[in-house]
Each structure stands twice: as structure tokens, then as C-alpha cells.
């Protein structure tokens, strides 16, 4: 019976790993290397090998409270009619961006206070943003994040150009 339980456990583990590998999540499956908490959001950063020898830096933005969403990475820098703050992920130091930022969640639109403005946002909850990068120098690297989290009733204090040390990455 022990062999059967072990075999069943192994099959279950393979199914979980297989399902995880088939997900549309652009985030690398690596342990977090850094994190930041502010503006009502926790940001966990991971770095993993990507395609063609590149690295992929992934930042998971998780609002601390239920019912909050983040704005699209494609929102203009100044928002739309001054409303909204795009979710941003950049690198500096020993890393250089090597591709476009992409998110793992579909977009929806909201019209705050019926102002006649449609803002692109991700569904409430966590969103992971991935950035292909390459190593260009020795020494420490940093991620730079910006974001704003809002619910249907209120917005939290936005975070702009927050530097998160990543250390020496390879």
C-alpha cells in the first residue's frame, strides 16, 4: 500500500507541475529575490532565465485589500485626462530592458465617478508584469516600479519610481 500512495503522490505532483507549466502567466517560476510594500500594494520580484538566453524580471503587484485593481501598463504616463497611473516596471544598474513589458491579466475598463473617461485596468487582485532583460554590467541591479491601486470607491496613495534593490544578478 505504501508504494501505491507514493505513486499516487508522484502522479499528483506531476499533474500540478504540468498544470503550472501550461498557465498563461508570463512570470518566471522562481523564488522572490526582492519585495516592496507601499501604496496599499505588495510587490514581489522574481528573476528567471527566459528565451534566447535572456532573463525575465517579473513583478507581482498584489493589493493589500480586496476589491482593488491596478492600471494597465499601456496607460499613458499622465493617465487619461490626468486620471490613473500606469503600472510600470523598469530596470537599471547591471540590467537593461530587452523587450516589452507584458501582464498576465486581461484588461477591463472603468469609468470613475461617471466622468466620461474610460480607464484600462486589470481585474481586482494581483497582476504579474514581466520584463525581458539582459545583463549588461557587473554590480548590483535595481528594479523601478510605479503603480496606483483603486477600488470603485477610492484610490490609495500612488507610488512613483520606487527603487527596489535586486542585488547582483547573473
For residue 96, the enclosing domain spans: 26-168
21 located within any domain: no
17 located within any domain: no
The rounded radius of gyration (Å) of the Cα atoms in the chain is 18
153 located within any domain: yes
Give the number of domains in the chain.
1
18 located within any domain: no
Question: What CATH number does residue 70 fall under?
Answer: 2.60.40.1250
Pair 50, 169: CB distance under 8 Å? no
Query: For the segment 18-60, what is each residue's pLDDT rounded down to a tens digit?
Result: 333 333 444 445 677 999 999 999 999 999 988 777 899 999 9
- Whole-angstrom distance, CA of residue 64 vs CA of residue 81: 27
Q: What is the pTM of this model?
A: 0.80
Query: For the segment 87-120, what is each residue's pLDDT rounded down to a tens digit?
Result: 999 999 999 999 999 999 999 999 877 778 899 9
5 located within any domain: no
Pair 42, 35: CB distance under 8 Å? yes
Amino acid at each position: 500500500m505504501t508504494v501505491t500512495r507514493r505513486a499516487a503522490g508522484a502522479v499528483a505532483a506531476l499533474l500540478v507541475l504540468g498544470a503550472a507549466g501550461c498557465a498563461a502567466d508570463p512570470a518566471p517560476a522562481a523564488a522572490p529575490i526582492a519585495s516592496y510594500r507601499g501604496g496599499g500594494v505588495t510587490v514581489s520580484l522574481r528573476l528567471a532565465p527566459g528565451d534566447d538566453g535572456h532573463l525575465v524580471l517579473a513583478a507581482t503587484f498584489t493589493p493589500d485589500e480586496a476589491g482593488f485593481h491596478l492600471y494597465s501598463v499601456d496607460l499613458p504616463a499622465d493617465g487619461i485626462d490626468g486620471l490613473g497611473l500606469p503600472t510600470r516596471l523598469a530596470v537599471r544598474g547591471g540590467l537593461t530592458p530587452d523587450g516589452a513589458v507584458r501582464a498576465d491579466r486581461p484588461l477591463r475598463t472603468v469609468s470613475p465617478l461617471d466622468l466620461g473617461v474610460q480607464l484600462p485596468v486589470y481585474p481586482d487582485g494581483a497582476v504579474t508584469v514581466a520584463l525581458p532583460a539582459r545583463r549588461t554590467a557587473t554590480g548590483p541591479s535595481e528594479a523601478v516600479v510605479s503603480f496606483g491601486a483603486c477600488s470603485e470607491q477610492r484610490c490609495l496613495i500612488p507610488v512613483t519610481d520606487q527603487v527596489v534593490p535586486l542585488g547582483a544578478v547573473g
